[in-house]
Amino acid sequence: MTIPPSSDSSSISLAFIDGALTAIGVGLCFAFPTIGAGFFSRVERAFTPIIRNKRLAVLFCGVATIVLRLAILPLCPIPLPFCTDDFSFLLSADTFLHGRLANPTPAMWVHFETPHVDMLPTYGSMYFPGYGLLLAAGKVLFGNPWFGVLLSGALMCSAICWMLQAWLPARWAFLGGAISVIHLALFTYWVNTYHAAATPGVIGGALILGALPRLKKRCQLRHGILMAVGISLLILTRPYEGMLLCVPVAVSLGIWIVKGKNRPAPSILMRRAIIPLAIIAITLGWLGYYDKAAFGKATTLPYAINRATYAIAPYFIWQHPRPEPAYRHPDLRRFYHRGELDYYYDVKREFVTQTLLKAGFVCFFFSGFALAPPLLMIRRVFMDRRVRFLVIGLVLFACGMVIQVYTITHYVAAFTASFYAIGLQAMRHLRQWRPEKKPVGLLITRLCVSICLVLTVVRVLAVPLGIPEPAWPVIKWNPMWYGPGHFGTERAAIADELENQPGKQLAIVYRGSRRNVLDEWVYNGADIDSQKVIWARAMSPGDNSELIRYYKDRRVWLVNADDLPATVTPYSDQTLLNLLQHPKTYPMPGQGSIEAEEFNHD
């Protein structure tokens, strides 16, 4: 998935506040290095009882995530699905809720084709099933799939804290967990959309990296099980990035088994490895069973069918574009050609520049401006034995990511705990920095956390403070304050309007080139024919007449999503012909002008 860049004023305003507060704070630290020393000391001591109890610290991070996010619901409501990935994952969840691993191909499937959804050999999401299962659990347990995301966000923060306890002193592990709550779990798109699949990846990576030093120290069965659970989560959500993490972990464990001082006898190792290996084997077996049911072959990965059917641009930089498929809809061609292929050529043409931009984007996601000052100590961290394995693993991971065309922050979710450990170790070194024997570094570390807290309050009160919410997500500029802007309201309002109409409805959607390529409207649930409202893609009047005859018991509407705001009128061939014969041309942010006339409707 690619996100076209934008320059929305809201996001830039938040970035400006972030940068300005950080610059002012650092300046104050040099001018008044002892300011607030007593206050900060009292605050730090107040958390000592929690810090000393490691289990309580882990629990605190998870509970705080849920309590704080629910507390701001009046100002930051439950997000609506709004982009291609959201609806695809929700389709996956709905499929599981219907008791199926895949759905039969709909009779009128050509009208329902849409990005990131397979129609043949079965109808379903193209994504790995782990996140869909999470959303389905949220729907079953709490009545809304987003609560599954929220619960996974809480587990994510707890897992980060637990992992850090194995690598850093307890108070720094707790600080890392607390920062993850306010920096990742409240406003990022990881927890405020339905598409990132990031939280299971973070949990999986944290369990693996947290279990590694514990296994080497005590080799207890529960740590082996937790590592196996982490590996299973990555297999079911992001296996490529999971492989990049598991390879160095496996090498480290192998060296320990051969030469480690505290390794137990081989017979004990074998007994304690049986259950973890069984968990991984069961996960792989179930994924193979899922692939067989969904795609007809146990070794066919979920992405493979969809990319082979629709995509032109490859995922890896050395690969060449595929031949362009015969798209039946201009919207799909626009998505895969303009939305993906152009970016692929940009990366090929400016590889070094684009790689540096992607690296900077990822770093900015985890640090922003407020947490950037400790990175000045990164050279010391690279020489630090405490986190040397994490640094080496991160370098290997970076090599694995560089060869990919696309890099979005949730692609690096498995290494989130590593980023936090390295950043906190840099913060520890900065805390000891005393130029001219003044505690400048100590104050900077304290103000970094304080600024994060201030920014959290600012983001919650963004609308009352007059900071407008973006009309479209702007994660290129300010990913940590990305959500939950209430996107997707147009489609949701029309869906509610049609749901309230008597009888069954059929919404035929016309999308010109006006909207962002990710702002897709044609998505349906697992059982299309039973839906109150069916969303279909506008084709020629002759093709549409076949669709209308098939759903002859439904009232038919034409949704013109090329209008801003979208309009809904009773369907007529003449209205649709006017739209097809006189398409409009609009400038697309970050993509130049898209000529609607180039897409021919037969």
Q: Is 341's pLDDT higher than 60?
A: yes
Residue 219 lies in a domain: yes
Residue 517 lies in a domain: yes
| Mean pLDDT in residue range 400-404 | 92
Q: What is the pLDDT of residue 1?
A: 36
The domain in which residue 562 lies consists of: 489-598
User: What average pLDDT is seen over the chain?
Assistant: 89
Q: Is 3's pLDDT higher than 60?
A: no
Residue type, 133: L
Alpha-carbon gap, residue 65 to 201, rounded angstroms:
17
Do 444 and 536 belong together in one domain? no
Residue 587 lies in a domain: yes
| Model pTM score | 0.92
| Mean pLDDT in residue range 361-365 | 87
Q: What is the pLDDT of residue 11?
A: 46
What percent of the chain has a predicted confidence (pLDDT) above 90?
71
Residue 115 lies in a domain: no
Alpha-carbon gap, residue 451 to 369, rounded angstroms:
10
Residue 114 lies in a domain: no
The CA distances from residue 79 to 44, 156, 191, 218, 407, in Å, are 34, 19, 9, 43, 24
Q: Is 149's pLDDT higher than 90?
A: yes
| Mean pLDDT in residue range 522-529 | 95
Residue 473 lies in a domain: no
Q: What is the pLDDT of residue 197?
A: 85
What the block records as the tokens of 174 is 């707790």
Alpha-carbon gap, residue 22 to 186, rounded angstroms:
20
Cβ within 8 Å of residue 592, ≥6 positions away: none
Residue 308 lies in a domain: no
User: What order do you get walking across the sheet with 504-510 strand by strand?
Assistant: 533-537, 504-510, 554-560, 567-570
Question: How many domains does the chain divide into?
Answer: 2
Element (H, E) at 336: none
Do 424 and 509 belong together in one domain? no
Element (H, E) at 380: helix 378-382
CB 1 within 8 A of CB 307: no
Q: Alpha helices, DSSP H only, in 184-313?
A: 189-192, 198-218, 221-237, 239-259, 266-295, 302-310
Q: What is the pLDDT of residue 4?
A: 35
Do 438 and 514 belong together in one domain? no
Helix (H), strand (E) counts: the chain: 24, 8
CB 262 within 8 A of CB 216: yes
Q: Is 145's pLDDT higher than 90?
A: yes
What the block records as the tokens of 433 is 């920095």
What percent of the chain has a predicted confidence (pLDDT) above 70?
92
pLDDT band at 594 (very low <50, low <70, confident <90, very high): very low
Alpha-carbon gap, residue 284 to 472, rounded angstroms:
38
